Amino acid sequence: MSLCDIPFVSNKDGTSPKCDVFLPENATAANPAPVLVWWHGGGLLQGTRKGTAPHLQRAPEEHGLCVVSADYRLAPQSRLPDILSDVAALLSWLHSPAFAELTSFRASPSSGLVLSGSSAGGWLALLAGTGIGFQACSLPVPASPTAIIGLYPISDLGDPFWHTKQHPVSYMNRIISVSELETHGFLDPTAPKTTESELTGPRSIFYHYMVQEGILEDLLLGGTDLSQDSFAVAQSLRTGGYRAPPTFMMHGTIDDKVPIAQAEAVEAALREIGGQVELVKVVGADHLFDRDPASDLSRMYAFIRNVIPAM
């Protein structure tokens, strides 16, 4: 059962991010399905909830999960505090009577709540699942989830990868002209705000331009007076001031869009503070490896069954 294009919050700036909800057919009000939230990648600059990988599309029937794929406002027209506000709003909505009624009480975060995402979406899952960054943005810290899953996640804006120019980037054979972005107003923080972009539309070049110019921090935090350290997952975990629910990550060993060191740093920090963590390094895999229809991510779903035994 699919419930698509559902607005979960109306922001004061006129934006209304939406989500899609996919329910298992055998879920009932007496035995509601646990919820798996997925946030898309794209550096928080581009992308859409419509970009769910095949394994996620199969998850309701194969694994009995209610999958919620959600959008959020995109940078730089909206900065990271606004993006985290949308994350918090989604999680609040999932615990509301509105979500229960929408799903006819057949799905409930009380049955289990897994926060997941790919690339920048994995970063959102790590931030929301641990509570990192929310107080810095003057936002309430979301309730703790059952678990976190990050697929090839960004985790630290301080990594030199995000500040080093690549002309051209390692995986492209040309330099992207700034005019390709300026023509559409993508770099203009005063341009109309948006909550999604087509996977193959004009904005799909934005991430590659950002890597080329090393400007992710400015795009996400420009004008906010916030430090990148407030959103550094491993560094923040080591302070001891954040929760650490069971965490699972997967990252390709030849990923040149997000360095595997981003996931390795989070794994190391969680182990240092005694957290439950598993990092699967997928040998020879690049970014977006899970989009292969043949990829079943069996270890990820085994992890979910382990943290939600009632599945």
Instruction: Tell me if 63 sits within 8 A of 224, measured CB to CB.
Output: no
pLDDT, tens only, 213-265: 999 999 999 999 999 999 999 999 999 999 999 999 999 999 999 999 999 99
Peptide bond connecting 76 to the previous residue in cis, omega within 30 degrees of 0: yes
The domain total for the chain is 1
Q: Per this entry, what is the length of the chain? A: 311
Instruction: Tell me if 287 sits within 8 A of 207, measured CB to CB.
Output: no
Q: Is residue 196 part of a domain?
A: no
Q: Is residue 253 part of a domain?
A: yes
pLDDT, tens only, 17-53: 999 999 999 999 999 999 999 999 999 999 999 999 9
pLDDT, tens only, 85-116: 999 999 999 999 999 999 999 999 999 999 99
Q: Is residue 140 part of a domain?
A: yes
Cα–Cα distance, 142 to 144 (Å, whole number): 6
Q: Is residue 131 part of a domain?
A: yes
Q: Is residue 182 part of a domain?
A: no
Cα–Cα distance, 229 to 227 (Å, whole number): 5
Q: Is residue 189 part of a domain?
A: no
Residue whose tokens read 């990271």: 80
| 250 strand-pairing partners | 151, 280
Residue 310 has pLDDT above 80, yes or no: no
pTM of this prediction? 0.98
| 19 strand-pairing partners | 6, 70
Cα–Cα distance, 36 to 57 (Å, whole number): 12
Domain that holds residue 84: 2-159+219-307
275 secondary structure, DSSP code: -
Q: Is residue 171 part of a domain?
A: no
Cα–Cα distance, 240 to 23 (Å, whole number): 37
Q: What is the DSSP pairing of strand 147-151 with strand 247-252?
A: parallel
Q: Is residue 166 part of a domain?
A: no
Cα–Cα distance, 242 to 258 (Å, whole number): 24
> Under DSSP, is residue 32 helix (H, G, I), strand (E, B) or coil?
coil
- CATH number of the structural domain spanning residue 258: 3.40.50.1820
